[in-house]
Amino acid sequence: MNEHTNEPHWLKALKACLPLMISYLPIGIAAGILLKTGGFAIWMIVLVSLFVFSGGAQFLIASSIMTGTPVFTITLLLFFLELRYALLGTSLSKYLKNESKPFIFRFSFSMNDENYAVNYLKFSTDKKWSATDALMVEYFSLLSWTVGNIIGGLLGTKITIDLPIVHFALTAMFLYMVTMQLKRRILFVPVVISVVVSVLTVVMFKSTLGLIVATLVSATAGYFLERYLKANYSDSAMLKRIKNPRAREMEQLSEAEN
């Protein structure tokens, strides 16, 4: 990662956000197609993309309007679907301590899993990454998402999209994020626990609430294991760092973390 001190904020944010923007286009198109098929007008698709801005929520809305689910039920389902955003906001909060309340409002309004992932990585690896940059990442991703939805809405039923394949763009992005985060061996523990617990609880609750359970359980397990090892076996192999093939470039980054 090169240092471009005089790079304008928007360009820095655009560069960080570009892979996400490209991934969002096909998925946005798929969401737009489904919403249009469900009976949403184009301007309604624009509204929902701007104000709800969540892939999962928009797919849920599309399938709910097709089946004529009551508005109250949809709202409740959406609330439980989106509850995990509480975790995103909580974990980013340490980087946004000095921001005003209106800024926090604007920032949280357009935050979702994907732009959080981009911003968390930037905050934790780039000392110069600012709240303004992060907000711009959100707006760039919002732009690409909305454009994708509009294209999908205009295409309507003229085209079919293989949703599981397109959706894998996001899965791949999260796989990338986990790989980047795995800097210490001990982090494999929450990873394994999270896989098992999330599959079991998501299936059990028949809802993404299971994701919250899995996240809390596995993060807590990791935290306590680290405390236990540090107190009792401070030279444990589990506490070692993981080799990074690009360590040199990353050196400055890990410094930023400490």
CB distance 182 to 60 below 8 Å: no
Which residues have a Cβ under 8 Å from the Cβ of 62 and sit 6 or more positions away? 31, 34, 35, 37, 38, 40
Q: How far apart are CA 163 and CA 170, in angstroms?
A: 12
Angle, helices 113-125/163-181, rounded to nearest 10 degrees: 20
User: Is residue 79 at the binding interface for other proteins, with CB under 8 A as the rule?
Assistant: yes
Q: How far apart are CA 91 and CA 111, in angstroms?
A: 12
Distances (CA, A) of 217 to 44, 208, 222, 224, 225: 38, 15, 9, 11, 12
User: Is residue 151 at the binding interface for other proteins, with CB under 8 A as the rule?
Assistant: no
Q: What is the DSSP letter of 238?
A: G
Cβ at position 223, least distance to other proteins in Å: 5
Binding to other proteins, residues 168-207 (CB under 8 A)? 168-182, 187, 190-191, 193-195, 197-199, 202-203, 206-207
Binding to other proteins, residues 110-149 (CB under 8 A)? 111, 113, 117-118, 120
User: Is residue 67 at the binding interface for other proteins, with CB under 8 A as the rule?
Assistant: no
Q: Which of 37, 42, 85, 229 binds other proteins (CB under 8 A)?
A: 85
Q: Which of 7, 9, 11, 39 binds other proteins (CB under 8 A)?
A: 39
CB closer to other proteins, 6 vs 80: 80
Of 39, 45, 72, nearest in space to 58 by CA: 45
User: Is residue 239 at the binding interface for other proteins, with CB under 8 A as the rule?
Assistant: no
User: Is residue 84 at the binding interface for other proteins, with CB under 8 A as the rule?
Assistant: yes
Cβ at position 22, least distance to other proteins in Å: 7
Cβ at position 6, least distance to other proteins in Å: 24
CB closer to other proteins, 6 vs 20: 20
